[in-house]
Amino acid sequence: MIAIRGLSKSLDRRVVLNRVDLDVAKGETLVVIGRSGCGKSVLLKHVLGLMKPDSGTVTIFGKQLDQLDRTHLYELRMRCGVLFQGGALFDSLTVAENVGLGLSENTSKSKAEIADIVAERLEWVGLAGVGPRAPSDLSGGMRKRAALARAIAMDPEIVLYDEPTTGLDPITAEGINDLIVRLRERLKVTAIAVTHDMNSAFKIGDRIAMLHDGHIIFDGSVDQVRNSSDPIVQQFIAGATTGPLEPL
Ligand X SMILES: Nc1ncnc2c1ncn2[C@@H]1O[C@H](COP(=O)(O)OP(=O)(O)OP(=O)(O)O)[C@@H](O)[C@H]1O
Residues lying near other proteins in the complex (CB under 8 A) are found at 12-16, 18, 45, 48, 50, 70, 74-75, 77-78, 80-82, 84-86, 88-92, 101-102, 105-106, 150, 154, 212-215
Sole window of 35-43, 56-64, 121-129, 224-232 interacting with ligand X (rule: CB under 6 A): 35-43
Are 151 and 159 a contacting pair, CB within 8 Å?
A: yes
Residues contacting ligand X: total by CB under 6 A: 12
Site residues for Mg ion, 31-60, by CB under 5 A, read 41
d(CA 185, CA 162): 20
18 in contact with ligand X (CB under 6 A): no
Q: Distance (Å, rounded) from C-alpha 113 to C-alpha 119?
A: 10
Q: Which stretch binds ligand X (CB under 6 A): 8-16, 70-78, 146-154, 218-226?
A: 8-16
Site membership for ligand X, residue 8 (CB under 6 A)? no
Q: Which does 36 bind (CB under 5 to 8 A by kind): other proteins, ligand X, Mg ion, none?
A: ligand X
Measured from the Cβ of residue 10, the count of other Cβ atoms closer than 10 Å reads 12
For residue 61, is it left (φ>0), alpha (ψ between -120 and 50) or beta?
left
CB–CB of 129/78 below 8 Å? no
Rg, C-alpha atoms of the chain: 18
In whole angstroms, give the CA distance from residue 40 to residue 59: 18
By the rule CB under 6 A, 42 interacts with ligand X: yes
Q: Name the residues that contact Mg ion, by CB under 5 A.
A: 41, 85
Q: Name the residues that contact ligand X, by CB under 6 A.
A: 11-12, 16, 34, 36-42, 85
